[in-house]
Amino acid sequence: MTESTFWPEIAAHAKAEHRPFFSMAPMEAVSNTVFRQVITKACPPDTFFSEFVYAKSITDPNTKFPTHGRLYVDPREKKRPVVQLWGNLTEDFESAATALKEQGFEAIDINMGCPDSTVIKNHGGSDLIRNHQWAQDVIAAAKTSGLAVSAKTRLGYSKVDEFKDWIPFLLEQDVDVLTIHLRTKMEMSKVPAHLEVIDDIIKMRDEIAPKTLIQINGDIPDYQAGLKLAQEHPGLDGIMIGRGVFANPFAFEKEPKTHSLDELLDLLQMQLNLFDDFSKLYDMPRFPSLKRFFKIYARPELGATDLRNAMMDTKSTDDVRKILAEKDKYLN
């Protein structure tokens, strides 16, 4: 456990409102400053996580996985995100944590669950599930900074039952928050999340590391579903939502409302403008990465299928703006 008050303050604020705390998951090419600001405009969670950041890249710009703006925080953002680091070398985590503290960040999360083959090939993400010593060492290295240190993992690498050894091992490392995606690496997102193990995990926490906050991730679409899950599993501290924001950018609303197509397209316009601002500073991500977001706003149930299809054929943000200016001719 670190001396940082970052997570205790978030948890205390949520507890005062009789709810778990909520966060938006770290997602590659999604959780950058642009989309964080869009979700903040719609309805923000208690905190955000950054994209995946290769630990070595923070102090060595010549690595094969450079930061490419992943650490950029727009002046309009009120809070800095939790920086999620991946890798397996203690010296990289120690130097990265020191540098992040100097840059004003308050919290680090260690990626121990990413199933991406490139990450695993480079001994990060889910590969740490198979190498407990690496996991122990990078947590200890990150703690030297004095920043809040959390970890995000999966239940196991190949089998669900691996959680019976893996989760207690992580709890023994005394992290501030342990976030568990309720699937194994091999399951990817192809099976339903294993909600049935939540109570077992909470019991492990209570016995091994009662001060560690437990956050759950996987198949939680919105605030209401997260709140219900926490009510069904007393002792659950936090809820992380990832893919849910693609189905509903207003996923963190405490009181769900019906949102019009115009409201959604206003968010898209905001994202286009922020993307252009970001592009003046960094060459990544490039325009094609924006297309994955169009389905969030131009929704079939709102008669916008043709509008979305037209946007998918664009090659620039200005092309998208031209289509939006003539949106009525694309609506069903």
From residue 137, give the alpha-carbon distance in Å to each of 93, 175, 211: 9, 13, 21
Q: Which stretches of 105-212 are DSSP H helices?
A: 117-121, 132-143, 163-171, 198-208
Active-site residue (options: 27, 114, 155, 324): 114
Among residues 243, 242, 247, 215, the alpha carbon closest in space to that of 229 is found at: 215
Our answer to whether residue 43 is catalytic in this structure is: no
CA distance 270 to 275: 8
CA distance 235 to 211: 11
Angle at CA 225, nearest 5°, toward 221 and 227? 130
Among residues 210, 245, 229, 233, the alpha carbon closest in space to that of 49 is found at: 245
CA distance 169 to 172: 5
Catalytic machinery residues: 114
